[in-house]
Every structure is written in C-alpha cells, then in structure tokens.
Amino acid sequence: MKLSVIIVNYNVEHFLEQALNSVFKALRNVDGEVFVVDNNSADGSLAMMASKFPQVKVIANKDNVGFAKANNQAIRLSQGEYVLLLNPDTVVEEDTFEKCIRFMDETPDAGGLGVKMVNGKGEFLPESKRGIPLPSVAFYKLFGLSKLFPHSRKFGSYHLTYLSNDEIHSVEVLAGAFMMLRKSVLDEIGLLDEDYFMYGEDIDLSYRILKGGYKNYYFPETRIIHYKGESTKTGSLNYVHVFYKAMQIFARKHFSQKNAKIYNALINCAIWFRASLAALKRIFSTLLLPLIDFIFIYAGIFVLSRYWDLNILASRHSFFPKSYYYLVIPAYILVWLVSIACCKGYRKPIRLANVNKGILIGTVLILLVYALLPETLRFSRAVVLLGSMWTVIIVNLIRYVIGRLHIKGTALAGEDRRRVAVIGAPDEARRVLDMMRMTDAKCEFSGIITLEGQSDVTSPYIGCVDHVSDLIPLYHLNEIVFCARDLSSEQIIDWMGRLQSFQVEYKIAPENSAAVIGSNSIFSSDDMYTIPVHSILQKENRRSKRAFDLCSSLVLLLLLPVDIWFVNGKCGFVRNIFQVLAGKKSWVGCRLQEYPLLRPGVLHPVDAFSSHTFSEEMVALAERLYTQDYKVKVDVMTMTKGFRLLGRNDER
C-alpha cells in the first residue's frame, strides 16, 4: 500500500465531511487507506462517517487524547509506505497525493513533505514553511521583528519569508496540517512525542527528521485550503500561552539547560509583551468611538454655547461661568454617552435605533436633573435641547461616515447583508441556493453563475463563470459559493486566487451535504450555512411551542371580527383556532411522517417562503431545519407571512 491518510477530528463534523470528500477524490489513482481518529466529539461526526464514508477506518476515543497521541494510534495500524497527517479543516486538490508521492519516490533523502497552503480567502499561509524556533528565531517572531523585516535571512527565519513561496525548498519545519512522512523514517526516529498536546509536535518531529539525516521539503506544486481554528490565531493570548508550553517542552528536550532557561525567559517576556499589547488594543478599540463622539459633540455645543453667551445672554447682562464650559458641558456629554452605552449603542454592528434611544434617554435624564437644581445652577434649558439635537445629528453622521469607509467591524446594522452568487451546474447551484435561503436571513441578493453560458437557465441565472470578474462589481457581490460537485479543488483554489482583489468571501458547498463551508475560522459559525441543533423534541421547546399556540389562538379568537376578513377559508380558520386550542393541531408543523411527536400543522415551514417554489428535497430540508433548530420566532414569521393560509384544512 502506498499511502495512509490520518485525520484527527474533534467537533468539526462539516469540515471533516468536506475534507474526506476531497481526500477520496485525490485517492482515485492511489493505493491508499484513510484513518479518522475521533477525540470524543460531541457533534455528529461519527454518525456522518458511518453513513457517508463507511470505508474510513475509525478510531473512536472516549476522551480527547490530543493531537500527537491520536495520530500515533493510527500510525501504528497504518500499512502505507507513506503516512500523511492531515487536518480535518483542509481541502486537497485532486492530484495532490499523486504529485507528492511522485516527488517522495524521486527524492530518497526526503523524510517529510509539506505543501503550499492557502486560507479560506485564497491567501498564502506563511506556516507552509518554517524554521526551527531557536531562541533568537522565536524572539524575532514573538516580538514582531519577523513581520517588520520579512526578507531578512536573520529576522525572517521563523516562516522563512526570504524564500519564494512558489519554488521547492529544503526547509526545517513542516506544518502538522499537511505532513507527508516516509514510514521507514518514522520507524527509525520514532512517532510523535505525546508530551505535546496541541502544538509543537510537528516542530519536534521535523527536527528529529533532520537529526536523523533526512530532509524536509516545501513542495508548492500542489496546494491545499486550510481553514484555521480560533486557537491558532497568533494574535490571541490563548495561542501565545499554548505556544509557550509547547516551546518549553521543545527547549527542555533539544537545548542545553542554559539555553533552555534563556529561551523560557525570552518567551515569558514575549507573553507579557503580547498580553500588554492585546489589553491596550482592546481598551483603544472600546474607547475610540466614544472619544470621537465626545470631541465632536463638545465642539458643537461649545460653539452653540458661545453664540448663546455672546448674543442672547449678553443682551440680558448675563454670562455662562467658565465652569459651564469645562464642567457642565462635559457632564452633559458623559450622560449622553453612558446612556448610549447602556442602550447597546456601541455594540457592533452599530444600530442607529439604539444610539438615538440612548440620546433620548440621556436628554430626559439631563432635563429631569436640571428641573431639580436651584435657580442659580440652571444655566439654559434651550442649550440642552439644542445640544441634544446637535448630538443626534453629529453622532449619526459619524457612524454614517465610518460605515462608508468600510472599516472592518464598523458596518451599520442592516448593511452587512449578503449578496451571494453560487457557481456550479444549474441543478446543484439551485439546491445550494435554496438551502442558503432557508438558513440565512441576511441574504439580500442571490444568483447562479453557471460553468458555461446557458441561455435556457431561468432566473436567478446572472451569467457564466468566465465573466465572474465583471459580475462581482455589476451585482455588488460580496460572497461567492463554489459547488464542489461541479468544480475541482484545483479550480476553486485558482478562482480564489484570481479574485482576491475583489475582497469577497468564499465558501464551498460539498456534494450531497447540508452545509456550506467557508469560514476563516473553523469555530466561527457566522461564516457557515449549516444545520444547528436546538431540537423541537426537547421538552422546553415543545412547551414553548405549545404556549405560543395557545397564546396566538386566544389573540386570534379575541380579534376574530377583524382578522377573519384577511384569511382565505373563513370557516376553516375558526375551526383551526379551536383545534389548536384543543391540542389537536399546531399553527406550524411538518407534512412528513418523520416527526410523530409533532401535532399536524396548519402551516408548514416552507410557507415562510411563499415567494419561492421548492422541490420535495428542499421541503424535507426545511422541515429538518425547523425541527433541529426550533425557535418561537420561526412560528411567528411563518404565521405572519402565511396569514391568509390560516384557514387551510390540510392533513399531514
């Protein structure tokens, strides 16, 4: 056997499914086997593999034993000449394995091989090639010198940034996300060191390959997509701590006692340095917008007060005291800012309704306190009212300008709606589009881009993939979804690289999957269309649903003289009200027989999308979504949009 592919999985079911799809495509011309070691996942990973990939050799651990130990479990059982350690959050090209094996066969001194990795946006990942983290190298990385001088052999040694990303190189360290190893070398130098739990084992193994007299190679003639977990964000304090612990083990194992102490001291300094930077960054980002608000509000009210002072009060031989400008006006502004904060006006995305509500409450509080003050401290109610008007104008204007600058994280609520195009054959693209409509309420525009010009494809067809660079600005698209059934991984990665200048998000829809995946972080559900789990079969959800049915039925009954005129089938409407009150029906239910615990529904989940016609497959998916992720607001939306159908007399 030529190749053993080993994947360690922990709670990333949909990413694992996508990875396995790509792996088996890449194994078509390779004699290989696939192991998945599951570290006690709580999601549906094991069930998914049993139903979709029965050929996978599964090792189901009862605990999370870590990356190194889990890989070793499978390596000991593997039969391949080469062993590939592969992350579950990856997508390999169809010829990746063939190219890598050919290179390894032709390069007898190669102990290990890594490939060119790109992230979910098609951007090159620098960890594709790395150097040994000697004390000086680690110091340059942790203190940011490697970023300042990337082309320097001295400072750029951690990610070897002075080497071309597109040429084959002998490197020191391979990334654990894709690590092809010669099995005979592993038999000689030993398996992964199980003292490492999450990070560092790939560095340790790479170093031992070099010490064994072999070489590690960076091989950019094939590519993989590597989505990255939250814990791998190098700017996070969590990453620095985990990295520190791994490097402690590495230093203790491979450096002299003196060098290990220096190394640990340097990393301790780096942790405090990074922690301080992170804290300052959080404080700055939190206070920046309130500070901008304060400056502009103060400037406006200061000018307004000076005008009032010199033109209105002067005619009455009266003036504002100096304390008014330096104490009273700032106090007014602080009340407004605190009120905005209490009304969640500084939360992202920015909601102008919350901002204006905060200003209104702040104004009322100022006027209430103003009324209780003695006459000598009541300076001018008119300035307070005019100042509140200025505050409303300038604060809204500030947010509008910031939103127009398209700074990340500053979009106004409602402006972050997705404009999506799905690229694939018409039937598969329509399936994916229908699924997205059901799982995402923020999709403002959606269209299909076919692989060839097909004039017979009806709406929402918007064009051919050859013209995608023209379609993106034409339709203001901000998200592209690739159908993996119709496009190879190589084509998808090519398009991601070609379209980088447009700053669009990319997602991939695996074949026969109920998930569309494309997050830069494997734990960021905001960037995934998938089926959550909040089952209607849970007792609290069934109670909530029954309570909603009772309350809504009573309201409809009380308003019967009015609401009956807006419903088709008036007799059926009255009958349905009493049947729902009696518990024989529910206002929203499923047509399929798969959910026996649910009462028959007057309406069905697809009635919330009355403007669309769905296939039976999509109807089944909508009902699955409804039962697995039940929320009362879904019933409210379905009844609102399907109000005229409440007199329906359908049976399940």
Instruction: Note the pTM of the prediction, 2 decimals.
Output: 0.67
Render pLDDT for 279-324 as a digit per residue (tens, 0 to 9): 788 888 888 999 999 999 999 999 998 888 888 776 766 778 888 8
Render pLDDT for 184-238 as a digit per residue (tens, 0 to 9): 999 999 988 877 656 678 888 998 999 999 999 999 999 999 987 533 444 445 5
The residue whose two tokens read 């669009």 is 504
More confident site: 285 or 76: 76
Surface-to-core class of residue 63, CB atoms within 10 Å of its CB (0-12 exposed, 13-18 middle, 19+ buried)? exposed
Neighbouring C-beta atoms of residue 32, cutoff 10 Å: 23
| Residue at 568: amino acid letter | N
Q: What is the DSSP letter of 260?
A: H
The residue whose two tokens read 């990303």 is 165
**588 within 8 A of 638, measured Cβ to Cβ:** yes
Helix 381-404 and helix 352-372: axis angle, to 10°? 160
Give the residue among 216, 211, 276 at the shortest CA–CA distance from 240.
276
More confident site: 275 or 603: 603
SS3 149: coil
Q: Which of 82-86, 110-114, 450-454, 549-553 has the lowest mean pLDDT?
A: 450-454
The pLDDT of residue 223 is: 95
Q: Residue 96: pLDDT band by 50, 70, 90 thresholds?
A: very high
**93 within 8 A of 490, measured Cβ to Cβ:** yes
Peptide bond into 460 cis (omega under 30): yes
Average pLDDT over residues 627-647: 84
The pLDDT of residue 454 is: 60
Q: In angstroms, rounded to a whole number, what is the distance separating the alpha carbons of residues 587 and 603?
A: 6
